[in-house]
Chains A and B, each alone.
Chain A
C-alpha cells in the first residue's frame, strides 16, 4: 500500500510544476477539499488550459475571496501558444489527450481527482456508468440557485445520458452554411430546411456545368462525422449496446459522401481557387465564387462571414436527412463533476458561474452561449455594432440557432477514432464500402459491448 501512495504522490507532484508554469498562480495546494485557513480550492482538470477558463478563474476568485480555482493542465505543450482558443477548431493535440486520459484515470483511481473534469476527450458515459461522475441534474434546481428559464434547456436535455446529466457544455458549436445567391438562386433551395438529397442533386447539376468550385473544401471525415452526429442514436445506441454501421443506409451514406468528391461538388483546394490569401478590409467582400461555404459557428459575429466572402450571401441551416429535424451541435468543451469530490457545492457554484450571463458574454467563450440573456444581448449588441452591423434578418435567424438545437452530435472519442481510421481506407479508394462497414461494425460493437 505504501508504494501505491508513493506513486500517486509522485504523479500529482509531477503535475504541480506543469500547471504552475502556465502562470495560473497555482497555490501548490493539492487537496481539493480546502486547507486549514478556511480558503477553499476548486480544482479543474483540463487537457490544456484556455482563456475562457482562465478568465473565469480570475473573475470568480475576485468575486469570492477565499476561494481558489486551480486549473490543472494534464499536458503543457512545449511552446505555450498564445491563442489556445484556436486549438478548439482543430481538436486537441493527441499527445495531450493521451496524457489527460492517463492523468485523470490515475487521479480518479487514487481518489485525488479534481472537483471538475474536462471530459470531451474521455469516454465519460462509461465513467458515469461506474458512478465516477456526479449526476448534475440534482443541482439544476432553484434550491441550488439554478433557474431553468435562464438557459437553453434543450442543450442540456440533449446531453443527457440514461436519464442523467453527467457533463454540461458551457458553449455549443454548430454548422452554418452560407450560400452565394448569385450562383444558387436558380436552384430553388429553402434556406430554412433542405435535405442532403437536394444538396447532392442540385449541386451535382451545378458541378456538371463546370466552372467555379461549388463548395469550400471540407474533408470527407468531417462530413461523415457531422452526418453520423445528425443521427447519432441510429448509429450508436448505448441503451441496447448496438452499433448501426452495417446497414445499407450507412453504406449509402459512405457512397454519397464519396460521390460529392467524385462529382466535384467538393474538391481538394487548389492554389488558384479563390482569393483566400487576399487581404480585405472590414465590410468589403472577398467576392469568392463558391456556391456554398460552411462554417463551424463559434460566435454570433461570425455570421458576418457571409458578407465577407460573398457579394450576396444567404444564411442556410445545414442540410438534414429529411429537411425537418432540428439541428445537431457539438460542444467546445464538456465539464463533469467528480462524484467523490468533497466540495461538490463549491464546484457546482463555479460551474454555474461559467453559465452565468457575465461569463457567457465573454468573447473567449469558444462557442455560442447557452445562457439566453447572454445570447440575446450579444446578438442585439451586434445589430448596433458600428462597423459591420448584423442585419435585422440575420439577427432574427441568429436568435433561432441555439433553441433549434436538438441533438448532441459529439461522437465518443474512441468510436470517432475507429470510424475515422476505418473509413479513411474507403475514401482513399483502397477498400470497398461493404468491407469497411463490416470491420467498422465489428470493432465498434466490440467497444460498445465491453
Chain B
C-alpha cells in the first residue's frame, strides 16, 4: 500500500512537465554555468586579490586603485561620451529610416536589404575598407589633396571619435531599423482611421499613436543600442590598435591591455564595475518601462 502510493507519486513526478523541463534545461544550464557563471565567479575572485597566483584577499583595494587610475578614468569618460553620443543618433536615424520604409516606397525591399547588409559582412573585411578610406595616405586624404587641401591623420586626431560613431551607426542602424519596422507594423490600423476621422493631422497621428505604441520597442532598441555601443571596441581596435588616439581609448582597450600585461586585478575590477553599471542601468530602464506600460 505504502509502496504503491510512493510509486504513484513518482509516476506523477515523471508525468509532470517540471521534470522534463529541468531535464531539457540541463545542457544549457551546464553550458551557462561553465562558460558564464564560473568565469564570472573566478573573475570576481581575481578582482579581490593582490596577485593572480596565491594572492591574498585585499578587499576592495583594487577597485579603489582603479578609480584613481588616470587611464581608466579616461577610458570611462570616453566610453560614456561615445555611448551618450551614438545611442541617440542611432535611435533617431533608425526610427526615421523605419518610418520612411514603412510606407509604400519605390524599391522598398532593396532599401531594407541594403540597410541590413552591414550585419552580415565580416568585421575584419569591413575594417580594411574603413582603414583604406581613413588612412594617412588613404582615399579620403587623396580626395582632399586633389582639391588642394591639407591631408589629416583622421584616426590620430580628434576626429577619431566621430569615425568610431560613424562605424557604429553604419553597423547598427539596419538592425534597429528592423526592430522599429516590426514595431510599426504592430500599430493597429484602426486607430489611425479613428484619428483621421477625428481630424488629426499626420504629425498628431505620429505623436499620439505611433510613438506611444512604439514605446516597448523603443526601450528594447535603447538597451540593445547601449549594449552594442560597447561592442564597437572590436572595430576600433582593428582600426587603431591597442593604443589609439586618446579620444578613442575605450574601457575595452583598457581591459584588453591589462590582460596583455597580466594585470588581472585591474582588468577584472574594471570589468565588474562596467558590468554592474550596465546591470543597474538595464534594471532601472526595465523598471521605468514596467511602470510606463502599466500606465499605458
| Chain A interface (Cβ < 8 Å from any Cβ of B) | 1, 3-4, 101, 105, 108-109, 111, 123, 126-127, 130-132, 241, 340, 418, 425, 430-431, 435, 439, 442-443, 445-447, 449-450
Contact = CB atoms under 8 A, between A and B. Distances in A.
B156 interface: yes
A449 B262 contact: no
Contacts of B69: 449-450
B249 A446 contact: yes
B112 interface: no
18 contacts: A3-B34, A101-B260, A108-B53, A109-B52, A111-B53, A126-B263, A130-B51, A131-B50, A132-B51, A340-B53, A425-B136, A431-B136, A445-B71, A446-B243, A449-B69, A449-B71, A450-B72, A450-B258
Contact of B243 (A126, A425, A447): A447
A285 B249 CA distance: 55
B134 interface: no
User: When A and B form their complex, which 4 residue pairs have the shortest distance between CB atoms, in order from nearest?
Assistant: A449-B70, A449-B71, A450-B71, A443-B243
Interface of B: 34, 38, 42, 50-54, 69-72, 74, 136-137, 153, 156, 243, 245-246, 249, 254, 257-258, 260-266
Contacts of A131: 50-51
Nearest to B54: A340
Given A126-B261, A126-B263, A450 B254 contact: yes
B260 A431 contact: no
Contacts of B263: 126, 130, 450
Contacts of B137: 430
A307 B51 CA distance: 54
Contact of A109 (B70, B136, B262, B265): B262
Contacts of A130: 51-52, 262-263, 265
Given A439-B245, A450-B69, 16 more contacts: A1-B38, A3-B34, A108-B52, A109-B264, A111-B54, A126-B261, A130-B51, A131-B50, A132-B51, A340-B54, A439-B156, A442-B245, A445-B71, A447-B243, A449-B70, A450-B266
A108 B54 contact: no
Most buried by B among A4, A108, A431, A450: A450
A418 B243 contact: yes
B253 to A, nearest CB: 8
A450 B257 contact: yes
Contact of B262 (A132, A241, A430): A132
Contacts of B38: 1
Nearest to A108: B262
